[in-house]
Chains A and B, each alone.
Chain A
Amino acid sequence: MSNDDLTQMIIAATRELAAEQGIEIDTALDADTRLFGEGGLLDSMALVSLVIGVEQALEEKHNVTVALADEKALSQRSSPYRTIGTLAAYAAQELAARRKSG
């Protein structure tokens, strides 16, 4: 799956979550959209829900199990949860690592 596909998947998951939780989104969503931290769309609980939602979507639609909230993600100096683009890049990296380890 390309980085772009992952970005689109995360955008869809973010929209779904926002609709469910009544989070207002007043701009178009793209890779630069801030998810978490200063100026981010989500609070920490909503971020947890989004990460779980993306993991589940990957599992359901692409039949691949990947953990996007492991120790590695949480200990990175620049958080993979900053923007939609950084989360997509992190997911791509984890998917590639999984393919490699078979």
Chain B
Amino acid sequence: MAEPVTLITGTRKGIGRHLAEHYLAQGHRVIGCSRQPAELEHAHYQHFTTDVADEPRVKALFASLRKEHGRLDNLINNAGIASMNHSLLTPVETVRRVMETNLTGAFLFAREAAKLMQKAKYGRIVNFTTVAVALNLEGEAAYVASKAAVEALTRVMARELADFGITVNAVGPVPVETDLIRAVPKDKIANLVARQAIKRLGRLEDVTNVVDFFLRRDSGFVTGQVLYLGGV
């Protein structure tokens, strides 16, 4: 069988970068994207510079992917931005921006990916949510709302795409040491960790493990699921 073709959004740093390296190491052809150029260099890695919610550029990315590979096995919708603010102190522009990247971006990539996958009657889509949804975490209203929308998208698309052999699932990490949480005050992180069954920060390999599971061919009967880490 040919090497899996895996598209990962938000590969410049953090979890996305780690996932790109992980799947390259497993022999996948990896296509990544981010708003800024990435440093990751590998013979089997191709990078696109685009905002995930920029429809014409995203469509161009997929046109190129189709020409180059003719198929797509896996999509990992990792790109995301957070906003840590009390709702009363959150500008509406921030809400728009967060929704645009987290929801519209995930939707756009899932839609275009599924168009490619449906031909092969096979595909795996993994979205990213957060335990903050389950915890109704204060101070992150816009971020939590955008990820709750991603969970709903996951469940509905799972049903719509089931007949095409495409599964759609989501992983909800606890805070992992990345840029996304570096700006969050230490006591806030400690409070969050205290609400987990297993009280520690997440590790990159905790996330990779769940994504591995969703991507496996054997996981074809698992769809529409949201899996939270840390026992939340």
Q: Which residues of A contact B (CB under 8 A)?
A: 20, 45, 48-49, 52-53, 55-56, 59-60, 65
CB within 8 Å of A: which B50-91 residues = 56, 59, 63, 66-67
What are the nearest 6 A-B pairs in CB distance? Answer: A52-B115, A45-B163, A49-B118, A59-B63, A65-B59, A52-B118
Min Cβ gap A16→B in Å is 10
Q: Is the CB of A56 within 8 A of B115?
A: yes
Min Cβ gap A39→B in Å is 22
Kindly state the separation between the CA atoms of A60 and B115 in the bound complex, as whole angstroms.
14
For A20, give the chain B residue with the smallest CB separation.
Answer: B119
* Contact flag A45-B63 (CB < 8 Å), given A52-B115, A52-B118: no
| Interface of A (DSSP majority class) | helix
Kindly state the separation between the CA atoms of A59 and B119 in the bound complex, as whole angstroms.
16
Q: Is B23 on the interface with A (CB-CB < 8 A)?
A: no
For A21, give the chain B residue with the smallest CB separation.
Answer: B121
Min Cβ gap A44→B in Å is 10
Kindly state the separation between the CA atoms of A55 and B163 in the bound complex, as whole angstroms.
21
Residues of A within 8 A of B67 (CB): 60
Kindly state the separation between the CA atoms of A60 and B119 in the bound complex, as whole angstroms.
15
Kindly state the separation between the CA atoms of A53 and B164 in the bound complex, as whole angstroms.
14
Kindly state the separation between the CA atoms of A45 and B67 in the bound complex, as whole angstroms.
24
Render B98-138 as a binary contact track against A, CB cut-off 8 A, 1 for contact: 00000000000000000100110000000000000000000
Residues of A within 8 A of B118 (CB): 48-49, 52
For B118, give the chain A residue with the smallest CB separation.
Answer: A49
Q: Is the CB of A45 within 8 A of B164?
A: yes
Min Cβ gap A84→B in Å is 20
Residues of A within 8 A of B59 (CB): 65
For A43, give the chain B residue with the smallest CB separation.
Answer: B163
Min Cβ gap B2→A in Å is 18
Min Cβ gap A14→B in Å is 14
For A17, give the chain B residue with the smallest CB separation.
Answer: B119
Kindly state the separation between the CA atoms of A48 and B162 in the bound complex, as whole angstroms.
14
11 residue pairs of the A-B complex, CB under 8 angstroms, read: A20-B119, A45-B163, A45-B164, A49-B119, A52-B115, A53-B119, A55-B115, A56-B66, A59-B63, A60-B63, A60-B66
Render B18-33 as a binary contact track against A, CB cut-off 8 A, 1 for contact: 0000000000000000
Residues of A within 8 A of B66 (CB): 56, 60
Residues of B within 8 A of A20 (CB): 119
Kindly state the separation between the CA atoms of A45 and B119 in the bound complex, as whole angstroms.
12
Min Cβ gap B176→A in Å is 36
Min Cβ gap A57→B in Å is 11
Besides A49-B119, A60-B63, 12 more A-B contacts (Cβ < 8 Å) are A20-B119, A48-B118, A49-B118, A52-B115, A52-B118, A53-B119, A55-B115, A56-B115, A59-B63, A60-B66, A60-B67, A65-B59
